[in-house]
């Protein structure tokens, strides 16, 4: 939310200007993510729709009203400020002046929600799975660290523009997205006309789910399908559409490039800056929990200590002061 509205809602202390507002936001996000993973029986048994089975529709309507009011208040607050800032809302409000029909408040609120839901948990989950697999495969972690040390050196931290040089790091991310796609069933689609898919007749208006998780682990499509082996991506492009963590076609994820850059940069910095170890001799648990973005069943715990580059850079920055 710092990028979106210039506010901290998850940090405690002096950076949180309004604790009540932060509490409200955290509550809204908690409820929205909870509903994101909920399945609604009424979508499969239409008769349940008119009796609002489980009260889901009523709860969602009340939550969407609170969310809408909260986001509207944020937009109004930014609009009333005398100085124009550098947040996402500021930029969209300035576009609203030149294109008022397109950048209506309703669209701005939708874009904020997109950023929050489609963009944050997905990237965080991928990072957690990548670190889990690196801790379970210390040889892969070492190879990634060696690549970073040889390509970037020990005098500076990785920057976004360096990521394209780190091919092995990117293979690790592709392999993580293959085995642990953050949206394992992509996003539900609906057939707009009668069609045939894989020999099955599908009437128009049918909900279609693509099981990317199963495609990514299909032994007919991948060698040694269930092993974590980033080397399989080292020779460049993957043929066909067998790797689809971001979907394909017109509704493919528009944040794919951003996600790949932020995940690569963050993972690269974690590897470059710290030595990582498991907290026990046993491998880190790789069971999948439930939820729309396929989290780990058990949150990752790991030990780390700063690598020499951190000491060097920290002392350098103290010297500069
Ligand atoms: C590792 C991170 C991410 C993964 C795995 C991911 C995956 C996906 C998938 C599978 C879809 C559905 C594609 C389909 O319908 O077939 C999707 C849609 C979408 N994603 Fe992402 N995403 C990620 C990060 C992001 C980020 C960072 C943003 C924006 C900041 C974003 C914005 C969106 C939006 C707006 C849609 C809906 C597109 C539409 O329906 O036309 N995603 N994403």
Mean pLDDT computed over every residue of the chain: 90
Indicate whether 16 pLDDT > 60: no
Give pLDDT, residue 15.
Answer: 56
| pLDDT tens by residue, 263-315 | 999 999 999 999 999 999 999 999 998 777 888 999 999 999 999 999 888 87
Cβ distance 205 to 190 under 8 Å?
yes
Give pLDDT, residue 292.
Answer: 78
pLDDT bin (cut points 50, 70, 90) of residue 6 is: confident
Distance of CA 191 from the midpoint of ligand 1 (Å): 20
Give pLDDT, residue 276.
Answer: 98
The Cα–Cα gap between 197 and 285 comes to: 37
Give pLDDT, residue 321.
Answer: 52
255 Cβ closer than 6 Å to some ligand 1 atom: yes
Give pLDDT, residue 154.
Answer: 84
Q: Which residues are CB-neighbours of 90 under 8 A, at least 6 positions away? A: 78, 84
CA-177 nearest atom, ligand 1: 5
Nearest CA among 180, 182, 170 for reference residue 263: 170
What is the share, in percent, of the chain residues with pLDDT greater than 70? 95
Indicate whether 168 pLDDT > 90: yes
118 Cβ closer than 6 Å to some ligand 1 atom: yes
The separation between CA 182 and the C-alpha centre of its own chain, rounded to angstroms, equals 7
| pLDDT tens by residue, 84-131 | 789 999 999 999 999 999 999 999 999 998 888 788 889 999 999 999
Indicate whether 49 pLDDT > 90: no
Distance of CA 112 from the midpoint of ligand 1 (Å): 14
Q: Which residues are CB-neighbours of 299 under 8 A, at least 6 positions away? A: 128
Nearest CA among 58, 233, 37 for reference residue 121: 37
Average confidence (pLDDT) over 35-63: 80
Q: What are phi and psi of 281, to 5 degrees?
A: -70, -35
Taking residue 39's Cβ as centre, other Cβ atoms within 10 Å add up to 8
């Amino acid at each position: 939310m710092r990028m979106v509205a210039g506010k901290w809602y998850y940090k405690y202390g002096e950076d949180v200007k309004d604790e009540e507002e932060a509490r409200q936001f955290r509550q809204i996000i908690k409820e929205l993510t909870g509903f994101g993973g909920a399945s609604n029986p009424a979508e499969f048994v239409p008769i349940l729709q008119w009796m609002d089975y489980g009260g889901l529709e009523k709860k969602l309507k009340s939550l969407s009203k609170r969310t809408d009011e909260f986001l509207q208040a944020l937009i109004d607050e930014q609009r009333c400020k005398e100085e124009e800032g550098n947040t996402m809302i500021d930029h969209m409000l300035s576009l609203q002046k030149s294109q008022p029909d397109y950048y209506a408040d309703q669209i701005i609120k939708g874009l904020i929600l997109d950023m929050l839901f489609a963009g944050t948990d997905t990237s965080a989950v991928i990072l957690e799975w990548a670190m889990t697999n690196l801790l379970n495969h210390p040889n892969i972690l070492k190879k990634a660290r060696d690549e970073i040390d040889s390509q970037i050196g020990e005098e500076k931290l990785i920057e976004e523009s360096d990521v394209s040089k780190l091919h092995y790091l990117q293979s690790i991310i592709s392999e993580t997205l293959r085995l642990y796609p953050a949206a394992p069933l992509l996003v539900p689609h609906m057939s707009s006309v009668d069609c045939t898919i894989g020999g099955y007749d599908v009437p128009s208006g049918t909900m279609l789910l693509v099981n990317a998780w199963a495609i990514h682990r299909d032994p007919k499509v991948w060698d040694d399908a269930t092993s974590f082996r980033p080397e399989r991506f080292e020779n460049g492009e993957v043929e066909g559409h067998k790797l689809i963590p971001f979907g394909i076609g017109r509704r493919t994820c528009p944040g794919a490039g951003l996600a790949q850059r932020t995940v690569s940069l963050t993972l690269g910095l974690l590897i470059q800056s710290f030595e990582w170890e498991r907290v026990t001799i046993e491998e880190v648990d790789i069971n999948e929990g439930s939820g729309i973005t396929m989290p780990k069943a058990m949150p990752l715990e790991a030990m780390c200590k700063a690598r020499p580059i951190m000491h060097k850079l920290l002392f350098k920055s103290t010297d500069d002061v």
